[in-house]
Structure 1
């Protein structure tokens, strides 16, 4: 996970609906809840609000959210931009029932309180999954009847706790192999396919109002796995199992949105089921370049359009909205930049692709983030002097676009293990080889055609090779 850099908060103008929500929430919250949402989201004044655009289309746009990031910049952006939240880990079995029969609700309750304070729906994730099980269950030995009771008791207890407050539950998660057969999980191995039906029936009995989903990955295109899921859903329906929807995780790679994605969503909807995109991210090989970010924008837009085209697609959840906390780099070395916001919580072109699909049009006032052709940048990097293990460098950023930049952060990766020791005209933070420079209060604006300069002292050993790529607010720059 990335490190969040320090930045200067900037106020933003909210549409009427969002402003009304904020005023209502602030008047009702305790001091703790106010702290959750009180920071202004770091976005341009003209930036769209995804939750409002999606609502106008009859959908929701949501994000996964960890309980540890409900405050500060992360919390404020999540509150302002998204109409639904999914707990990243706080509702999984290992988190809520670490000891048999003893439940820990702290993290899950924090997510629920945050959502209530901000007028957001909640997707419950997840009740029965082969992974992240507590040790007592994963490594325990139980008879078939006992295991079935353990499972249904867990489902009942958790679902009943949040009765009437969870909009959708992922009842069973990742039940399939890649060839479409059922995964040999602890539950399937002992109980067979019937464990799925039992889990859904227990959830329905505990909360009749919640929509109950089966959720899986690599089922976005028509193929062996999605065909297996389709057949499973049909079997459940034939048994009268109370299944309401199918979740498609949609962890993608840029340029690889399946051509059959919309048709695949539609065939499940034609079974009389709701569908949802539940864990969307679209990763790329690093570093991010102008071309890769443009492709990512087109891909986020295409996925959003696919949901809009299917009447029973209820909405989309991105699996984390900022590259600062994305799971992707830890799991896929050399890949990342998979979310709509960069590591410093600036919207990327992907964010504007989502907004455009939802009906927003860039008004040319600088909110396009590279999405409307109004922004561009060139960076000149120069080593001013070098000695033993230290050096001094200067950086000039030129706004080559047609609109002003209002607030900037410049990111780069050190190729030779360098580090920044002090800086002027910018605040510079570093996580590993990744460095980020953020404007100060007096140099936040860069006029169209204008420049800004900052410098720093650094440390080096071996070689002091200059960075080969820079990104300004998530958009790749040319080298000056």
Structure 2
């Protein structure tokens, strides 16, 4: 068994983020002198995320833990780790009553050595079942006993050491009905409530989650999830949180992503982005990577804007280890690091959305680092609106590209001081001759008119692939 690591608290005054270095917890809490600059203090993802009280996590592939480069990034950049496969049923109980603890124990040791939270994944799932379970002919009583024994054994081993557990994973069909899994076939819908009750008994202090994919926007599947969580909580079933996997496609981030997180949070549950990646048709190019950076930043910003959102986990951090190409041929480049463990624009998108400053421990590419953008709807009427955008760049620019998203269905009809194009909801604004050169600390501006007077929140504006901090006009 592993001793419980106590994490140091990070105190945030109301509305004011601490400027000191992020505390990583345990006996290894970092010491930061007052001479250090804010950029140095917030140069990693975990440092930046901690100032807002959120965690930034990654899935860990057990076979990569012998790689020093992989270990270094995972330890430095992330405050939470999730077992990619090591805690799934076929890996941890391959034969009935025989548990394989080697890989999960390695993850626990890694997390404790680096003062990281652990997100347990997953206890009850229709996929990756061992043959004895998938093909067994069990009565309802025996099936329920098998489930309860598995939950109590696995959670019991790590009791008090795992912060959150995906208790039930991917229980829904796309139409919002419950998936016809083996669990459902033998136990009916009660298997979900029974699993959560068993999990609470196994570790009363762990937060218990239900987790699924394609529930990121408001749709039939997320409505099914919403109704289930609402009803089970009303019955006293101990569901503490909902996980949104967020396996997204470039340029297809739902416009109601934040609103969806918020409606679940309004049920009184914690929400977490659990398996974030944003895939694209390969090969990638500069324009795609810029849009991907912006969309990673938008997901992070949505979590920041929902008080009950506790953090964001990316499903692995390097394209080398991504599940995407093997599942979606011709697609990939879905993660913040490339195949060579070098940061992509998406890294800076995440970092700056959390309030960090590129240029410290793990700088990403892109000359647009450290920018502030003011996005203002200057005039609005029933059939249109006029928008003004002002961007201030810390670094000197010789040519620029700014990207942002409009609500679905809203189109640009004209623009000024920019060459502006639109693809789906993504708008790309490029410099014209007279405003291509911008000095360090200088500001450029442009504007456009749209065909809709819809009211919406200001989007994240990215400069040359890096998300800018929101500013005022």
TM-score normalised by L of structure 2: 0.70
- Summarize the Cα distance change of 1:125–1:373 in structure 2 as closer, same or farther, 3 Å threshold: closer
Deviation at 1:360, TM superposition (A): 2.2
Match status 1:170 vs 2:166: yes
Contact 2:322 2:335 in 1 (8 A): yes
- Distance in 1, matches of 2:157 and 2:256, equals 39
Give the alignment partner of residue 277 of structure 2, picking from 273, 277, 281.
281
Partner SS state of residue 62, structure 1: strand
- Distance in 2, matches of 1:174 and 1:162, equals 23
Structure 1 segment 221-300 matched on structure 2, within 5 A: 221-300=217-296
Contact 2:44 2:360 in 1 (8 A): no
- Distance in 2, matches of 1:98 and 1:203, equals 20
Match status 1:197 vs 2:193: yes
- Summarize the Cα distance change of 1:155–1:302 in structure 2 as closer, same or farther, 3 Å threshold: same
Partner SS state of residue 319, structure 2: coil
Deviation at 1:67, TM superposition (A): 1.4
- Distance in 2, matches of 1:128 and 1:366, equals 37
Q: In the alignment, which residue of structure 1 is the partner of 2:115?
A: 119
- Distance in 2, matches of 1:84 and 1:365, equals 18
Deviation at 1:166, TM superposition (A): 0.4
Deviation at 1:361, TM superposition (A): 3.8
Deviation at 1:206, TM superposition (A): 0.7
- Summarize the Cα distance change of 1:176–1:140 in structure 2 as closer, same or farther, 3 Å threshold: same
Contact 2:211 2:243 in 1 (8 A): yes
Deviation at 1:16, TM superposition (A): 8.2
Give the alignment partner of residue 57 of structure 2, picking from 49, 53, 62.
62
Deviation at 1:363, TM superposition (A): 6.4
Deviation at 1:96, TM superposition (A): 0.8
Contact 2:351 2:358 in 1 (8 A): no
| Deviations 1:341-399, CA, capped at 9 Å, x for gaps | 0111111000000011111244699935116169xxxxxxxxxxxxxxxxxxxxxxxxx
Q: Structure 2 unaligned segments of length 5 or more: list them.
A: 1-18, 31-38, 371-394, 398-464, 467-473
Match status 1:49 vs 2:44: yes
- Structure 1 runs of 4+ with >3 Å offset: 15-26, 44-47, 361-368
- Distance in 2, matches of 1:224 and 1:277, equals 19
Partner SS state of residue 297, structure 2: helix
Number of paired residues?
348
Give the alignment partner of residue 308 of structure 1, picking from 304, 308, 313.
304
Partner SS state of residue 265, structure 1: helix
Deviation at 1:235, TM superposition (A): 1.7
- Distance in 1, matches of 2:361 and 2:237, equals 52
- Distance in 1, matches of 2:72 and 2:301, equals 27
Give the alignment partner of residue 354 of structure 1, picking from 347, 350, 356.
350
- Distance in 2, matches of 1:184 and 1:238, equals 24
Q: In the alignment, which residue of structure 1 is the partner of 2:336?
A: 340
- Distance in 2, matches of 1:167 and 1:75, equals 21
- Distance in 2, matches of 1:258 and 1:25, equals 38
Contact 1:144 1:190 in 2 (8 A): yes
Deviation at 1:245, TM superposition (A): 0.1
- Distance in 1, matches of 2:77 and 2:21, equals 12
- Distance in 1, matches of 2:194 and 2:124, equals 11
Contact 1:46 1:366 in 2 (8 A): no
Q: Structure 1 unaligned segments of length 5 or more: list them.
A: 1-14, 27-43, 375-400, 404-473, 476-480
Partner SS state of residue 324, structure 1: helix
Q: In the alignment, which residue of structure 1 is the partner of 2:147?
A: 151
- Distance in 1, matches of 2:229 and 2:28, equals 42
